[in-house]
Chain A
Amino acid sequence: MDFLQSIDWMQLLRCFVVGGLICIIGQVLIDKTKLTSARILVIFVTTGVILGALGIYQYLIDFAGCGATVPLLGFGANLAKGAITEAQTSGLLGAFIGGVKASAGGIAAAIFFGYIASLIAKPKIKKQ
């Protein structure tokens, strides 16, 4: 019960609103531009990398926490942050290693769970 009491509800609200607003940007892109979902994901990740590199995205993360890190913009920003940090410590090699290293957990999880899901699941039709 201590954990529940420790939750910062204002922080959670900011997270909800910012996360939701980022999704609205995505929805407007889908409805107005007829871009496919793969393109939307690419736009978000690449924008995230650039915003992260420029240091802008960190402000949003500080403000909204997971509202900024969970959307793919955050995935991109994390790639940028990792690449920059590692590049500063180990140079050119770091530029190559840093980004993926910082996001390795997520990438490995997606690949691993994808493989596991393919073992257990069978494709099914959408009912609607």
Chain B
Amino acid sequence: MKKLGNQTIMLNNPPYILETSSIVGPKEAGGPLAKYFDQCLEDEFWGEKTWEKAESKIIKENVNSVVAKSGIPATDIDYCFAGDLLNQCISSSFGLRETNIPFFGIFGACSTFVEGMCLGSLFIDGGAAKNVLCATSSHFCSAEKQFRFPLELGNQRPPSAQWTVTGSGAAILSNTNLDKKCPQITYVTPGKIVDMGVKDANNMGAAMAPAALDTLITHLRDTGRKPSYYDAIITGDLGYIGKEILTEMAETKGYNIKNNYNDCGVLIFDKETQDTHSGGSGCGCVGSVFSGYFYQMLKEKKINRLLLIATGALMNSTSSQQGESIPGIAHAVAIENLEK
């Protein structure tokens, strides 16, 4: 591997994304991408007693599913990178405690999935691992409980608020593709923390958009690519407001992304019928939309060059209450079909 420019890493032996799997909750199952997900749940508890247990079960079952789909035995997976939104990442560590895979718990808020993919591909390209598992989850109810208010509280959500996705995404990265013609991760661009002073926890898209812009522009500068090189540039969960901000700000910086840019938070719900205001958010948003929808598009060669930029808001309820602004982060991976 080799460092390019400020913060991008070019991978000499681009790791394959061997398999992905996604599980989503009932609301996501009612959205426009429903048919792309591996499993849609009928209720948010999924037979468990608490939201937290339900979220652990979602990530656990999704990891089981991706391992089963990949056809490689779990014992051949060298490392796992996983994280979520709950305090101390308990859904991932509790959900994966029985996997017997060496475990790196990571936190990048909603950018966790791509953070895991960045680290996993470096492990593989560096020769430290043959197969790496990346997984993440989020749950609307556990997130509301931890970050906002009890579900039964009769309050109104402002129009800029986003809806935390109940769901999980998981991917297996590998140094071989088992002749499956899998897409490969060619570049990773880890992001910087960018804080433009937004304090409104009900406007996450606006808080994270500057970080996405920074990572996007840095990636393009470092690699010398133009936005039009990519068939699709996809952000994690900027939602409608963040998407518009990113599009406009990129344009003023001289990058036109109008034609090939979209956002997972915008894609996952139908704004008109599902009343999700500014769109979806949460680790599970980019996780499930990439693992479900975009991975299939890549496999079917409908998209051959994808820049996936997962965004995260690095805050918690204590920092909000102490009046802190919301630092944003965005990690990017370039995913390409190199074998025609």
A and B touch in the complex (CB under 8 A): yes
Interface residues of A (CB under 8 A from B): 30-31, 34, 36-37, 121, 123-126, 128
From A34, A125, A128, B151 is in contact (CB under 8 Å) with A125
Q: Is the CB of B155 within 8 A of A37?
A: yes
With both chains docked as a complex, state the minimum distance between the C-beta of A94 and any C-beta of chain B, in angstroms: 35
Interface residues of B (CB under 8 A from A): 27, 44, 51, 140-141, 149-153, 155-156, 158, 200, 202, 274-275
Question: What separation, in Å, do the CA atoms of A34 and B198 have in the docked complex?
Answer: 13
With both chains docked as a complex, state the minimum distance between the C-beta of A55 and any C-beta of chain B, in angstroms: 33
Q: Is the CB of A126 within 8 A of B156?
A: no
Tell me the nearest residue of chain A to B153, going by C-beta: A37
In the assembled complex, 12 residue pairs joining A and B whose CB atoms fall closer than 8 Å, in A order, are: A30-B156, A36-B149, A36-B155, A37-B149, A121-B152, A123-B150, A123-B152, A125-B44, A125-B140, A125-B141, A125-B151, A126-B151
Question: What separation, in Å, do the CA atoms of A31 and B155 have in the docked complex?
Answer: 12
Question: What separation, in Å, do the CA atoms of A29 and B182 have in the docked complex?
Answer: 54
Q: Which of A36, A123, A128 has the most CB of B within 10 A?
A: A123
Question: What separation, in Å, do the CA atoms of A74 and B150 have in the docked complex?
Answer: 26
With both chains docked as a complex, state the minimum distance between the C-beta of A124 and any C-beta of chain B, in angstroms: 7
Q: Which 7 A-B pairs have the closest CB atoms?
A: A128-B275, A37-B155, A125-B44, A123-B151, A125-B141, A126-B151, A125-B151
Residues in chain B near residue A30, CB distance under 8 A: 156
Q: Is the CB of A34 within 8 A of B202?
A: yes
Q: Is the CB of B141 within 8 A of A123?
A: yes
Question: What separation, in Å, do the CA atoms of A124 and B275 have in the docked complex?
Answer: 17
With both chains docked as a complex, state the minimum distance between the C-beta of A105 and any C-beta of chain B, in angstroms: 22
Question: What separation, in Å, do the CA atoms of A36 and B154 have in the docked complex?
Answer: 12
Please name 14 further chain A to chain B contacts, defined as beta carbons within 8 Å, in addition to the given A31-B158, A128-B275, sorted by A numbering. A34-B158, A34-B200, A34-B202, A36-B149, A37-B149, A37-B155, A123-B51, A123-B150, A123-B151, A124-B151, A124-B152, A125-B44, A125-B141, A125-B151
With both chains docked as a complex, state the minimum distance between the C-beta of B243 and any C-beta of chain A, in angstroms: 22
Question: What separation, in Å, do the CA atoms of A100 and B274 have in the docked complex?
Answer: 44
Residues in chain A near residue B149, CB distance under 8 A: 36-37
Residues in chain B near residue A31, CB distance under 8 A: 158
Question: What separation, in Å, do the CA atoms of A31 and B159 have in the docked complex?
Answer: 10
With both chains docked as a complex, state the minimum distance between the C-beta of A45 and any C-beta of chain B, in angstroms: 17
Tell me the nearest residue of chain B to A126, going by C-beta: B151
